[in-house]
Structure 1
């Protein structure tokens, strides 16, 4: 096989790069590990990667019991996860702490704690799982160590169309047969925003996305506005380099997010044909996007062979590629995420077919260098490369094995470094005939890190404010609809419940069906059906939603939402809970605030003149918008309650008072006219409070975001 300059650089530096990866120091709570998640680390506050512990000291260890290890905290306490397997790839699960040897920077360390994390995929959780709708739900789910985490990175920039179609079935079979219902998964493309990637237990939703996976390697026809901005301006070689940087940057972003959700092991399943430093001469062109005549090199299959100038170009470009890969290695190991590249090319004799008019030696060299890039990503992040295999199933099964059984080993560093540098770790097992794969090292704390940890987390907003802001967390690509539910006073002591949904706009880089109808089932705790119906009965027009109102008795309702597409079946399901208040009691109460927005004076006049229009579910607006808020207030006496409003910032501090217009007729809603032109972009809250003589004031918070 031809050894190209780019492959030579990869091979020469593989050993060095294996040692130049990082991991974050871990901490343990100083309590016995009573369960599989007893030593789980608390998540640090936003912007602070490392745990809040006091610098320079490590508490004295307590005597461990024979059954349960004691886990400690301290800035010098390091945790390493290690996978131990036999020569058949099966996990070895009967090792003891004395079987392990650990060295840091070549100096022996004494293992102090050992715990086997073993996940039985056939055993479901013993508790009721909440539907993941917010960042808090995602963090709570990820903190459960019995839930394995897998993210599918579908690199359509680095996969040919025919190969993407062939890899769909193995990936779908892997999800349906190997993953447990408790496992958290997600899917991502290179252009998917990081905040649009949310872990979910809705495996069918991820399968739907994989079914639409379509590779576009060497296809420069733009499919979104982002690509239109550059594809007609840049040459193919530059486009390929830009696409590679976008893909690797997206990988760095997602592993960083995964590291913020859990300290333990995570798996990134990366579907890609690998990366090359440059295009071969036959595919280069001085025409933007490669549209037009590429020149004489295209007609010479041996262009670049045995050419010292071409070798220098390849060598220089390979150094850039290795620098980009090293950034991925560092990010993945720092956040304890293993990368498992899956090459959909299967067994192949070359990177290009005969129609490309490229010599066999050049084609073999590009195949080898791109495959080596996948191997480097796996080897340097404690993953496995599934390459050169016609049957991807066994390799995908090994991913599950790696995430299902591993050891957590803890020790106190005798060097106690506070230099902010990388310190290599080596884990060995005394038992012969076993293979050990472990994290390669960690980045030590700096004095500045210790000071920040000592200062502790910043005081956040009040609980009510934080809860309100959580409702406007940007919805992710796995969500198909935006919903709103509100209650008001109905007849005969019942409450009037209103439910509406709106389709979410498509996310750039994500291809999926659009929601056209929602089936709503509302039941009481006893199982009695309060409402069941389709919204609307026929499919809604593209871009439109629907609303419905029904009466319900006060109490808790369980809601099941089934989102349907354009006749292709169920897209998603969601479970909600709604507490219906008793608005007929002689107490001071507020109904659910309803919100509309207008983008012109005429629109606002029309909204203000009617009370029949359904409100909006969106809570993100422009500075040119004008909000109309209506809220009903109920009091025990004949005198109507007084309603006041204040605008708060995202910390819950008052910005200014807002005028509230009382109703012209008794029993109608109070109204607020809130133009947004005078406010900057950011998150805000409208605090509505009702006051009545002899009664404690009641408040409602309406959170919203002003964007560009």
Structure 2
């Protein structure tokens, strides 16, 4: 069994009422807790599994079992019509769409290391594959080595990429002598082949490889800032030599010391031309001193080390590379080099492909290299098992900021299941955590760290990213469990859901819970009416004992047979508790009219009101509510309190209500403090305000 797993950091912090630059994508270390996100791809005979239950999944970190907090099924919709896909119109909208996309793809055209023939062969398969792979909720962008990662435009439509490829079919310039940059032309002028054979060619090859690796490193950093979930990079390249130190290239030419430029004047200013600058009077694009500096610099590079560092950064940022050699079945690496012995050529080809295979293996991707002429079919098969995946969350039992590698293993209790995952992640060091805003130590006089209740409320927001076809939230009260199950808006519009559906909600004790021996599983069946997206289950058939429970929802459309499944964990408090263990949310806004509708989606807009409800064992003698920033600082917003009794169950509920119009986009926490007699309890609910 081949194992793949990804440890993901948590989204960047947002200060109150103002957006701030994102944090580095590291596991969240706050208040002594390390939340790790794990996106896991499980398949049987190449077909992705979509019916896993939390009890079938086990996560180990450094061989120590971890307690699973949640397991969410992430599903990408089919491609559909290009015209029906909405596009972001601003840079901020594009960033938000990329963060919430079901999957984020980047097509990287390594122009420097793809031949004209290779680019020609790749054009049609790329167009066909993108049309079938990119779903309606996915985002895709294009990058080349000459581009800055910040210049990438991500889009839901692939038509613009298809036009670009069609209009520029000869995008590969590996074997095009005429395609030289001014910098490369300067090398050829400084070291003409008649005087210094091979010098300029070596420098150009090393420069291009350096630019490609630097561009990929920048792309990894950029993708890590956009979202913590997995990012896919389709890398079209014919491989690299991964150059190392070359004493001969960096040594004196003809036994002489490096030459200096002759004195000259700058025509535009009339002053003396600075050393190394271009000489327009002699038609030289780059001065000799500049060429000599670059020759020495390029001679002493070590791209093997940079390549390994790139893979480490990709693992930390949760980026998977899919290298593709568009040449298909090939025999020679350099077919035009008739002076090259066949054994040397074969060794070059083998080394290039071995490096690309390592790149795919170590970042949990798949390489398409020298084994098929059906490139389009290979690409579609390559992404067949990533149409759906599971996003699991757990709090690491190791909170140390030691910068060490932590091995992670995911096991699935399903026969013939193949779990594809990375081997683990690098924990941040104290300096890295401090630089990322997750300081392990707080200086005297600074604001206190957020309370654990605030931290856990924020951590619960992260699974809302991406396209979840169905969501669930649950809260425990004295002897009962309440749950809200909600269909995604796009899912509810599918034809099979227009006539409604049926919800089967199963509550069973967690395997490690003390109540597991005496409490059997209970199942509640409810009807989802046509046009209804969310449904609330207010309790089970029999009371439940205190402990931790697994709540599993299976919702089936009336016009279909394939159910959607989602699950979460919830704690039922002790019989002496005066308040429930969590809150359920409701929203009111333009889409709901005057009614408050229960929701499992923690994303809200400024035009909405947020209401949370908490089960109460007795009337509250005192209750207060506060709106907090994600740093735990109170905000000057009015939170109203009331109580009500549910007519169907006669359950008493404490209610906190707040208007969101005064907030900027970001993440916040609604805190609810209730005092009954001598007991005081605090409940927090984290949510994200979106544009």
TM-score (norm 2): 0.49
TM-score (norm 1): 0.48
